[in-house]
Structure 1
Amino acid sequence: MNRKKGFLLVIMGATFWGVGGTTAQKLFHHHGIEVDWLVTTRLLIAGFLLLAVQFFGKDRSQVLGVWKDRKAGTQLIIFGLIGMLAVQYTYLASINHGNAAVATLLQYLAPVMIIVYLVLRKQSVLTRVDWITVTLALAGCFFLLTNGSISQLSVPIPAIVWGVLSGVALAFYTLYAIPLLKKYDSIVIVGWAMIIGGIALSFIRPPWRIDLSSFTGSTYLYLTFVIIFGTMLAFWFYIESLQSLSPKETSLLSSIEPLAAVFTTVLWLKEAFGFYQWIGTICIFGMIFLLALGKGSSPKNSDTSKSAEPLKVS
């Protein structure tokens, strides 16, 4: 029963992430919501909700205890600003300039970036699976962005730039969090990181400065889904699934996220996807499955191997 519950939770969480990206696209393109405002509001509300879950349902001492450790506190601030805020902003900016499907698929290049980084730092050795995944990633990006035509891009350049930066930010986010996750629950780390990122962006785009008179019932409905389901519940369900499933299983099942983003973008928002873009999508899905099923790069030390522990939040 616990495993069935775990499978259900990770599938729901990954689906919420994928559909959440498509819903954000709807808000940007049809409801006039600005990226800065949505990122700030999403981070602050979801962050407070996650800390509330920890405080009332888990080890409440960790909520404030993380700040009693000066080193951990400093790392958390860096993680919140350069990790969490960067991941959230670049991902949603890519959606704003393009669409949720492409943005999500480009963000999923992060594991390949991590492999390359660890190899360059001589912390791991390339395996045959690594070569195949890198090849699939490059081929997938080529077909996804060009639709098979070298002369022109099928995706706006700003969407590509923000999408690649989203992958870079997610790679940093994943690697930098490792020391913090050894000491504290992931909900505490992610919850505080969201609040830190939200407060920082509030100085640039205060969430209270918005004309609510232009909001319709649909606007509030979509906002609720993005913040509650696409952020807070998605992460919570994903983390809870780790109680009964292995990291490999959760990583594999989380590939439902780009699948949900692609299909909702095409079927709900009626975004055109060319034949070669579907080929590119299949290549990236193949990369994700190989990374989830295989061992990937052979680590040279135990710390590096823990970088594969899932800590995903879109």
Structure 2
Amino acid sequence: MVVTACVLFGLSGTASRELIDRGISALTVTEFRMLFGFLSLFAGLCVARRDLLRLPWRSLPRVTVFGLALAAVIYCYSMAIARLPLAVALVLQYSAAAWLTAADAVRQRGRPATSILVALPLTLGGVVLMAGTGGARLGHLDPLGLVFGLATAASYLLYLVCGRGIGSAVPAATSTLYGALVAALAWCCVQPPWRIESGAWEPRTLVPLTLIGVLGMAAPFALVLSAVRVLGPTRVSMLGTFEIVATSVVAYLWLGQALTLPQCLGALLVITGVTVCGRHSPDGAARRPRRGAIRA
């Protein structure tokens, strides 16, 4: 589920960058992404699973925070890549895996699972090589861009933690549906529809924005939220670094951007880290049946 979501994020990210280059603002792309994500999920559930449209009132505060975190992740990342080299923005975002690992170790007062300790340096090291941070002039970075980059990591952490917190009470599709609604309403308050640039309503722009909402928000975020409930936020944040590889492949096929040798090595490290992380259960032990248990 996480790898599929990463591929969809890579496709939608490249399409979003192309729209921004055409003159569509990052805020408009974010707003349409949330709105069309909500509408597509709502239509799908109306047809297939109307029972998932019900949201318990007691879960409304958590879903509201979850939706605001969802909106913040996409917007802060868009603003970060507009002011920072993509390399730095990506490394800041995926530093969330390191923060989650440290937080889990403190909370559990023990050493994290061996698979996490092995996968963490592999994935973060791969991200650094894939992004090519060594070529960035770190002394000339935009301070506001750095703030948005750190805010991206913080909002991503909040999104994962909130997703785990509401997992036992609200199904993944329901959480994503109402989280997208909260995010869409929040951005409509920031930028009302009548203030959106006219070019966004043209068919050649509106169609890609719709697809970004469906394939770049509704589907991948529902997949990630479902995965969080199985693997936990720490493992999902590390598995999410596969987005760097997926985005690079999409950029090569779509935009003709070739990978350098260090980036290829970084991709290999990320894939290795994802494999190590994914082959083990959430508690770090291999999935083995207990003695005396009946095998299905």
Tell me, which stretches of 5 or more residues in structure 2 are unaligned?
A: 286-296
Match 1:76 to one of 31, 51, 63? 63
RMSD: 3.9
* CA–CA separation in structure 1 for the residues paired with 2:145 and 2:130: 12
> Contact (CA 8 Å) 1:94, 1:103: kept in 2 or not?
yes
Matches of 1:274 and 1:19 in 2, distance apart?
21
CA positional deviation for 1:152: 3.1
Change in CA separation of 1:260 and 1:218 when aligned onto 2, cut-off 3 Å? farther
Check 1:222–1:124 CA distance in 2 against 1; reply closer, same or farther (3 A cut): farther
Find the aligned partners of 1:11 and 1:146 in 2 and give their Cα distance.
22
How do 1:55-66 residues align onto structure 2 when only pairs under 5 Å count?
55-60=46-51, 62-66=52-56
Separation in 2, partners of 1:228, 1:234: 9
In structure 2, C-alpha distance between the alignment counterparts of 1:75 and 1:241, rounded to whole Å:
16
Q: What's the counterpart of residue 4 of structure 1?
A: none
Query: TM-score normalized by structure 2?
Result: 0.75
CA deviation string 1:10-36 (max 9, x = no partner): 77654322201111111112x111111
Which secondary structure does the structure 2 equivalent of 1:177 belong to?
A: helix
- Specify the alignment match of 2:255 in structure 1: 269
Please give the alpha-carbon distance, in whole angstroms, between the structure 1 residues aligned to 2:127 and 2:225.
32
Q: Distance in 2 between matches of 1:267 and 1:121?
A: 43
Amino acid at match of 1:79: F
Give 1:240 shift.
11
- CA deviations 1:8-61 (Å, max 9, x no partner) are x877654322201111111112x111111111221122123213323332143x
| Cross-structure match for 2:30 | 39
- Which of 36, 52, 72 is the aligned partner of 1:86? 72
TM-score with structure 1 setting the length: 0.71
State the 1:200 CA deviation. 1.4
Q: Which moved more, 1:254-263 or 1:173-182?
A: 254-263
Q: Does 1:117 align with 2:115?
A: no
- Aligned equivalents of 2:239 and 2:283: distance in 1? 20
Q: CA deviation at 1:247?
A: 5.9
Aligned match of 1:189:
175
Q: CA deviation at 1:182?
A: 0.6
Whether the aligned pair in 2 keeps the contact of 1:133 and 1:287 (CA below 8 Å) is yes
Q: CA deviation at 1:293?
A: 2.0
Unaligned stretches of 5+ residues in structure 1: 1-8, 300-314
Cα deviations across residues 136-186 of structure 1 (Å, max 9, x unaligned)? 24433443455545x835996566654453333222211122231111211
Distance 1:262 1:98 in 2: 18
Aligned AA (1:76):
V
Aligned pairs for 1:149-164 (under 5 A) are 152-153=137-138, 162-164=148-150
Residues 233-271 of structure 1: CA deviation (Å, up to 9, x unaligned)? 4445x38998xxx869x9799776433311122342344
Give the CA deviation at 1:98. Answer: 5.7
Aligned equivalent of 1:225: 211
1:226 Cα deviation from its structure 2 partner: 1.0
Aligned to 1:54: 45
Partners of 1:110 and 1:164 lie apart in 2 by 9
Aligned match of 1:260: 246
- State yes or no: 1:17 paired with 2:20: no
Range with greater deviation from structure 2 (209-218 or 132-141): 209-218
1:91-128 deviations in Å (ceiling 9; x for gaps): 33334446878766754443333222111223653233
Q: Which whole-Å CA distance do the structure 1 matches of 2:11 and 2:140 have between them? A: 20
CA–CA separation in structure 1 for the residues paired with 2:154 and 2:95? 8
